[in-house]
């Protein structure tokens, strides 16, 4: 497949690009600073672009089978400016202009409703995280609203606490909800899940919880 990866210098985006190359896909990595992107390969194209300008992104998404985005806030200050929603809006505009339909983005587990059968300690932990990072989740909620209004075949991948762990390929996914008591997952496995969902019609226009 021909894939475009946004946020390719971030933890999940870098894993998406690397795993996609290893699987034999053609990858276009869209970055703000190519010097921060260390991957190389015959099937890799690295594109420097202004992520706030949809017109400049159109060549990077034209003719692609799917676009995968790890764009998001690096800190609370970024979140307060609505960076995830703003940059995703640019990606959506570029994709709609080019007729590229499949889009997968990284969101977060706390956006999902807490199941009534979730253990009490897990429910308390989620409430605390939502309160502590309210700006981050407000930004991601707006991002997901932008997805829902778009013409794309989107999937919002919602991991819980992220860690830098080796790829296992063993995790749980739930369409429309979070895995019960799903407390953490490695960035490499989030990337693995995103690539697996590219061709999964059950995940189209759906949020998907992913966790160990």
Query: How far is residue 27's CA from residue 96's CA, in Å, rounded to a whole number?
Result: 20
Q: Domain holding 28: CATH number? A: 3.40.50.720
pLDDT tens for the chain, 212 residues: list them.
Answer: 999 999 999 999 999 999 999 999 999 999 988 888 989 999 999 999 989 999 999 999 999 999 999 998 777 777 778 899 999 999 999 999 999 999 999 999 999 988 778 888 887 888 888 887 888 899 999 999 999 999 999 999 999 999 999 999 999 999 999 999 999 999 999 999 999 999 999 999 999 999 99
Global confidence as pTM: 0.94
Looking at the 3D structure of the chain, how many domains does it have?
1
DSSP string, 27-85: EEEEES-GGG-----TTEEEEE--TT-HHHHHHHHTT-SEEEE----SSHHHHHTTHHH
Q: Provide the residue range defining the domain that includes 42.
A: 2-211
Query: How far is residue 208's CA from residue 193's CA, in Å, rounded to a whole number?
Result: 10
């Amino acid at each position: 497949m021909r894939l475009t990866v946004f946020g390719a210098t971030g933890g999940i985006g870098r894993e998406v690009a690397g795993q996609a190359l290893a699987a034999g896909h053609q990858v276009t990595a869209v970055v703000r600073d190519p010097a921060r992107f260390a991957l190389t390969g015959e099937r890799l194209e690295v594109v420097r672009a202004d992520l706030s300008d949809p017109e400049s992104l159109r060549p990077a998404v034209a003719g692609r089978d799917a676009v995968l985005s790890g764009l998001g806030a690096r800190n609370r200050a970024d979140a307060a400016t609505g960076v995830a929603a703003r940059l995703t809006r640019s990606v959506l505009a570029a994709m709609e202009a080019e007729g590229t339909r499949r889009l997968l983005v990284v969101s977060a587990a706390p956006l999902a409703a807490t199941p009534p059968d979730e253990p009490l300690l897990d429910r308390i932990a989620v409430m605390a995280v939502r309160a502590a990072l309210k700006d981050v989740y407000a930004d991601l909620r707006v991002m997901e609203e932008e997805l829902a209004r778009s013409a794309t075949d989107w999937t919002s991948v919602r991991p819980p606490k992220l860690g830098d762990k080796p790829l296992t390929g063993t995790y749980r996914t739930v369409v429309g909800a979070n895995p019960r008591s799903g407390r953490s997952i490695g960035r490499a496995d989030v990337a693995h899940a995103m690539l697996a969902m590219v061709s999964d019609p059950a995940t189209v226009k759906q949020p998907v919880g992913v966790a160990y």
